[in-house]
Amino acid sequence: MRKIVLALISIIIATADAGAQQPVKLSLDDCIAYALRNNNAVKNAHLDMLIQEAKVKQTTAAALPHINGKGDFSYSYIIPAQFIDASTFPSGGVTPPKGTIVPISFSLPYAASAAITTSQLLFDGSVIVALQARNTIVEMAKQSEQITAENVRYNVYKAYNSLVIAYKQYEIIKTSLTLARSMEGDLVKTRNAGFAEKIDVDRTSVQINNLATDSMKVSNMLVVAEQVLKYNLGMDINTPIVLTDTSVEKSWQSNATLIAEKENYERVPEYAVLQTALKLNEFDLKRYKLSAIPSVSGFWAYGDNYGHTRFNNLFNTDWYAPSSVLGVSINAPIFNGFARQHQVREARLNIEKTKNNIDNLKKSIDFQASTSRTTLKNSMLQVQSQKRNLELSNSVLDLAQKKYKAGVGSNLEVTTAQTDLLRAQNNYFMALLDVINAEADLKKALGLLK
């Protein structure tokens, strides 16, 4: 019995281990690649591009032949009659008196028809322009997809590094909390031996309580920061993850090269979209101008008509009469209440508006690039300053601990040094986060966030 129970416990434990979800290890590049596959905004942007391709193919269909078939069958159980003057149609040499009105049926009870019609557009200015603009429309949809992808990269980049910084802050607080608790234990022993005062123990207890509170706050912030990253990735927020790119200290050389990079509007996706929008507005203007030219189309039709007094002759070809027609149709617009003139004016105004938007975007790119450069420079200086403060704080804490252990320093000095080190560490990593965010902003402004 005991062996059976042990076997069941082993199976339960193995099943629980198999069902437990393993953490997903993610680098920054992995996150960006995952987001570009799973983020709903990226998916919808790709679907929008496919929708535009489908719409363009619908436009292409207007220039191709259109073929339609039609068949009819009817049974007139009450045949309609037409009234005529019988004197118009003498019969057997006898002419009825004028004004003799009689009903006559001209149709048969069973009737059927089958026809096939074909039409081909030969010339239409609007369709020609639409065919010319089809590649531009698809190009604009692809550029819009690129903008969405760039925004997702930008958000993932910042969310990933924010989470890395949050983890480092949490580790700093946990380490400080461990050191403070260790010191508290030493102080309690020293006080029990009569070599320390109660105020020293209380001061350390206050520090421990503050660190414990900060630890819980940062822990809660970690949960939110992780969910923000998963949201941007398009990942289930319950999926456990492990970040592998945890080194936020980067070489300054790459940032110096980035700061020296000049603006190039062609690299910015928003600029490319506006340039394409300008082309489409110009196509609109051309389309409205050509709409004044007549459109020409050709058509051909062939059919058979059937009529009889008996249904069983429906499949007898002797009772079918064929017909066919071939022709050309010309549709010439003459006057439409000045609608075309107003459409042309609207198209010209849209062109001017798009040009203004392009000029404004150039200025916006210049402004954002200049601001981001300045922010990045200041953030780099701040990191260097905070790094020096961090080194000094480590030295001060090391010296305070040595003095305390040698019996020539006080607990207050150690506690103060620990607090200063914690502040210096937080300031250093926050400065690093400012550098990362400024770098992302500058890359986005320069169109380099690939």
SS (H, E, C) the chain: CHHHHHHHHHHHHHHHHHHCCCCEEECHHHHHHHHHHHCHHHHHHHHHHHHHHHHHHHHHHCCCCEEEEEEEEEECCCCCCEEEEHHHCCECCECCCCCCEEEECCCCCEEEEEEEEEEEEEECHHHHHHHHHHHHHHHHHHHHHHHHHHHHHHHHHHHHHHHHHHHHHHHHHHHHHHHHHHHHHHHHHHHHCCCCCHHHHHHHHHHHHHHHHHHHHHHHHHHHHHHHHHHHHCCCCCCCEEECCCCCCCCHHHHHHHHHCCCCHHHCHHHHHHHHHHHHHHHHHHHHHHCCCCEEEEEEEEEEEEEECCHHHCCCHHHEEEEEEEEEEEECCCCCCCHHHHHHHHHHHHHHHHHHHHHHHHHHHHHHHHHHHHHHHHHHHHHHHHHHHHHHHHHHHHHHHHHHHHCCCCHHHHHHHHHHHHHHHHHHHHHHHHHHHHHHHHHHHHCCCC
In this predicted structure, what is the pLDDT of residue 250? 67
Look at residue 187 in the predicted model and tell me its pLDDT: 63
What's the pLDDT score for residue 406? 75
Overall pTM surpassing 0.95 (yes/no): no
pLDDT the model gives residue 125: 86
pLDDT at 251: 59
Out of 1.20.1600.10, 3.40.50.2300, 2.60.260.20, 1.10.3720.10, select the CATH number for domain 21-62+124-294+332-446. Answer: 1.20.1600.10
Note the pLDDT of residue 95. 78
pLDDT at 104: 82
Taking the chain (450 residues) in consecutive chunks of 10 residues, what is each chunk's mean pLDDT? 44 45 87 94 94 89 91 87 80 76 83 92 87 90 93 94 88 79 68 64 72 79 90 91 82 77 92 95 92 91 86 79 92 88 94 96 95 93 91 88 76 81 88 91 90
Q: What pLDDT is stored for residue 9 in this prediction?
A: 45
Domain borders along the chain are 21-62+124-294+332-446, 68-122+297-331
pLDDT for residue 6: 42
CATH number of 68-122+297-331: 2.20.200
Residue 194: its pLDDT value, please? 62
